[in-house]
Chain A
Amino acid sequence: MAKILIINPVIREDDEPKHIPYGLALLASIAMGQGHLVQVYDENAWRKGDEVIAKVCQADCWDAIATGGLTTTYRSIKKILNICKANAPEAFVIAGGGFFTSMPHEMMRWIPEIDLGVIGEAFVTWPEVLGKIDSKDFDFSRTLGVCYREGNETVLTGVRPNIKDLDRLPYPAWDLFPLDIYFRNSALSLSEVAFRSKRRMDIMGSLGCGMVCKFCWHLGTTGDMIVDENDEGKKDVRFTYGRNIRYFSPRYIVEMVKTLVRKYGVDFVYFIDENFMTMDMASGRTWLKELCECWIKEGLQPMSRRQGLPDEENEGGVFWSGTSHAGLAYRDILDLMYRAGCASLVYGTESFDPEILKNLGKGVNQRQNIDALKTCMDSGIVPIPNIMIGFPEETFKSIRTTIEWMIKLGIHSKPHFATPYPGSEWYYTYKDSIIEQYNGDLEAFIKELGDAMKLTAVISHNFSPLQLLGLQQIVMQRDLRLLDLAEKHWGEAGTLTKTIAEPRNSFNIIKRKIQAPIEGQKERNNPNHVNR
């Protein structure tokens, strides 16, 4: 069987490693389940640097070295793969995940060490690729969901259909990661119970989100991606409003958490789902209810919630948290979630300005944003409202509205900057402007991307980088006096200044629903114009 080295790249260099990489752990588990020989080196956890990565590459004769992650890991991945190829030149290098899926051809060009890239969902593609490597078959022209090299060209195959039943997936191979390091960083500042956590682990309950927020992207894993020929006749990825939303059964999730309690003594689990609460709606309001009931029935409910005691007095059980949506804050389900141990919910509040919300694709208005936070707080669950500034339509008026509501609702936030991450509608809409802002060097932009606290490319039609940096500070200070003063000394873009960001249409984004393939779907419905 193939001998595989999986390397987890560094994410958020300035922060402690807090999250076991769920995707890589799952792929390691799938590979072992197929009988392959697998080793994991977690550079994000260890952070031992280049020399140790080189030693890792020399530790054995690897048939394949694999890595992957979000776009924000790009810098780390590029460096790691450079070291890999120099120290294990015979190994076949595979990359995948969001960083690759959003721009496969560019990634193959920028990282020449990559032999094969996997796009979108890898649950089926990954073991198929490993099987081929094991049998020394390096012809990937008939393998769905990959990008391979052919001479100086890079070739993309068709989209791999999503699997239909998530419950068939094995548990991630947690044991292959340095859990002590992650447990040391268990505490999260999201709520009092999360802050006290000593043994937190992440789990995934679902894949997908039905919303079409312009800043967001679904990694090509949720029925949001097709492959089509562009104007030059080259196959490329296209992202759409189509979705294949799937969730694990409540029984699967609860059994997994029971395993985590038994094996590792976890006291807190963090649902890394793209949007946990939207599954309530996607399931016809059954899934979350069943999950909470099963959680309680199987004894995972924290004792404090069962007995109505303060959480400070809790002993036993598992608290949890996840992501939510302001349009789905129903008191009945929030009450049940609280009883089951839900400690906090992250809301993508983004802004309180009605016009910005209207243009954002979130499907919420100002009133819903306000009410959701109150309803959530009333249920006992701590809401975490994320705030963002620098929207294309941002004005002093919209910033003022957001600050006023932050004051009224008691929100303290250093806001994210609206950032056009690759794959998002914003990215394709402003790609030309981004390239111009980086003097023609798109890779320089990708290298800079972090978690949007740092200003990278500007997509605001009205504000310059200088102004946005100042506005971030003013929002953080919730200082309306400074905001008024700033507005008095500001020149409208197009008069005194030039607009930095200008929208355009793009081949890579289709602003309508197109059904991407899923297992069991009839071929005639498949929109991918690809050779099979």
Chain B
Amino acid sequence: MEDNLLKGNFEVKKPIKLGDQEKEKSVGEELKKRALGTLGGSMVYMERKHFTWDGDE
């Protein structure tokens, strides 16, 4: 796997390596992507962080 996120014809002052970053998306992100791609019938996805109802009603 290529390591440099920036690729060019010179060395940048602050190279950005893949290893320095969050290498992989979290399981939650991966699950959301997969689930949204297969929505239908019993395949439903609910947002984990966008729950706006505060329970007052």
- Give the interface of A toward B (CB within 8 A): 3, 5, 14, 32, 37-41, 46, 48, 52, 55-56, 58-61, 175-180
| A–B pairs, 28, beta carbons within 8 Å | A5-B6, A32-B9, A37-B8, A37-B9, A38-B8, A39-B6, A39-B7, A40-B6, A40-B7, A41-B6, A46-B5, A48-B21, A52-B5, A52-B16, A55-B14, A55-B16, A56-B5, A56-B6, A58-B14, A59-B6, A59-B13, A59-B16, A60-B12, A61-B13, A176-B8, A178-B2, A178-B7, A180-B2
- Sample of 17 more A-B contacts, CB < 8 Å, known A48-B22, A56-B6, A59-B13: A3-B10, A37-B9, A38-B8, A38-B9, A39-B6, A39-B8, A40-B7, A40-B8, A41-B5, A48-B5, A48-B21, A55-B16, A59-B12, A59-B14, A60-B12, A175-B7, A180-B1
Residues of A within 8 A of B36 (CB): 14
Residues of A within 8 A of B22 (CB): 48
CA distance A58 to B21 in the complex (A): 15
Instruction: Tell me the minimal C-beta distance from B31 to chain A in angstroms.
Output: 14
Residues B14 and A52 in contact, CB atoms below 8 Å apart:
no
Residues of B within 8 A of A48 (CB): 5, 21-22
Number of interface residues of B (CB under 8 A): 18
Residues of A within 8 A of B12 (CB): 39, 59-60
Instruction: Tell me the minimal C-beta distance from A60 to chain B in angstroms.
Output: 4
Assess A177 versus B7: contact at CB under 8 Å? Given A48-B22, A60-B12.
yes
Residues of A within 8 A of B14 (CB): 55, 58-60
CA distance A48 to B26 in the complex (A): 12
Instruction: Tell me the minimal C-beta distance from A264 to chain B in angstroms.
Output: 13
Residues of B within 8 A of A58 (CB): 14
CA distance A178 to B33 in the complex (A): 22
1/0 per position for B1-40, CB-CB distance to A under 8 A? Answer: 1100111111011111000011000000000010011000
Residues of A within 8 A of B1 (CB): 180
CA distance A38 to B10 in the complex (A): 7
Instruction: Tell me the minimal C-beta distance from A53 to chain B in angstroms.
Output: 10
CA distance A40 to B12 in the complex (A): 11
Residues of B within 8 A of A38 (CB): 8-10
Residues of B within 8 A of A39 (CB): 6-8, 10, 12
Residues of B within 8 A of A61 (CB): 13
